[in-house]
Amino acid sequence: MSTSRAPRIDWLLMLAVVGLVTIGTLLVWSATSARDDLTGGDPTAFLRKQVVNVAIGVVLLLVVIAADHRWVRLVAPLVYLASIAGLVLVLVMGTTVNGSKSWLMVGGMSIQPAEFAKLAVVIGMALVLAERAAGQWRARVGLTDVVLMLVVAGVPAVLIILQPDLGTMLVLSATVFGVLGVSGAPRRWLLLLAGGVVTAAVAAVSAGLLKPYQVDRFLAFTNPDLDPQGAGYNVEQARIAIGSGGLFGKGLFDGSQTRSGFVPEQHTDFIFTVAGEELGLVGAGLMIALLGIVLWRALLIAQRTDDVFGRVAAAGIACWFGFQAFQNIGMCLGIMPVTGVPLPFVSYGGSSMFAGMLAVGLLQNIHLRTTTPAPTRYVMAERRPVRLVGSR
């Protein structure tokens, strides 16, 4: 049997990511090519930037794939600490964009540490459970384990809510909930956690931690007609753009809503509206199908791996990608409140692309070191399947 890693790479996962990145780059180009206010008259400005983002992301992905799994476990705490340091730096010297102090300017590049915090929380929680499991295939989760994992997630969560970055906080909360569920935490604890999150959200609103525009977005979500020219404007224009695309769309670069710039932040948070208008139901459905393949392969990797760290990390990444995609597409369709979260691998932005590619690299790394069991063979005896001695 070949020991080469290449044949064992999950090529279906890779092809799905390549498809999403390719479609996303074209959509970013289409959303910005006619916007002189964004490009300064250069229609290919954002295309070139996104290609650079993708290239850097691919390098990061390959580095993680090539890394020895023991090295990955060793570096995991450093990644977590680095993300915490980045979140602290944002609060101290960050740049405010769209009401949130979420960005660090490094040279000519803007970095959003909260994007990396999602991956850091996933691997941090996985590492805690793996260390407590001490080599067992399945850890027995107790109160101490849950508390430790919540502490790992709680530190970056507090720093993110102080920015305040409500969208990332929602994604992080869903990811933590999913990781705890996969790890085997008792259901009653999950229910208590859900109640605690709701209570904390109410307290944050009452204490004035959220900006007025963020509260207005939630009010507009409950009633889009409440302020159609203000808080409800984004959703209203997004629906018009998606609805005008029909079955096959108006064609790439031919969307009237997109070319006219009616939908704000269309190359980032509302990139799905470009797909809906220019590629139609078929094109947007293809994009959702590719996202579904990524989630399917991540969950399959989690199911097949033979160690606790890999299983929890892969499942956590699936929870992260799944909820973030649902939140992004949902707000474009008006079934979720408007929050600033990118569509994984599709929206413009370096931080989101880098964090996503690192996560895919980790999935592949876990997949490569998974011992795939030989097919199980059965014989029938007394009408029950009996496993033959020597089969795995």
Please give the structure tokens belonging to residue 3.
Answer: 């020991």
> Using one digit for the tens of pLDDT, what is the confidence trace for 178-207?
888 888 888 888 888 888 777 776 776 666
> Using one digit for the tens of pLDDT, what is the confidence trace for 70-109?
787 788 888 899 999 999 999 988 887 766 788 888 777 7
Instruction: Give the number of other CB atoms < 10 A from CB of residue 364.
Output: 25
pLDDT for the residue numbered 224:
62
What pLDDT band is residue 3 in, cutting at 50, 70 and 90?
very low
45 dihedral zone (left: phi>0; alpha: psi -120 to 50; beta): alpha
59-72 mean pLDDT = 88
pLDDT for the residue numbered 217:
67
Please name the amino acid found at residue 376. T
Q: CA 50 from chain center: how many Å?
A: 18
Q: What is the pTM of this model?
A: 0.87
Phi, psi of 204 (to 5 degrees): -65, -40
Q: Are 25 and 47 in contact (CB under 8 A)?
A: yes
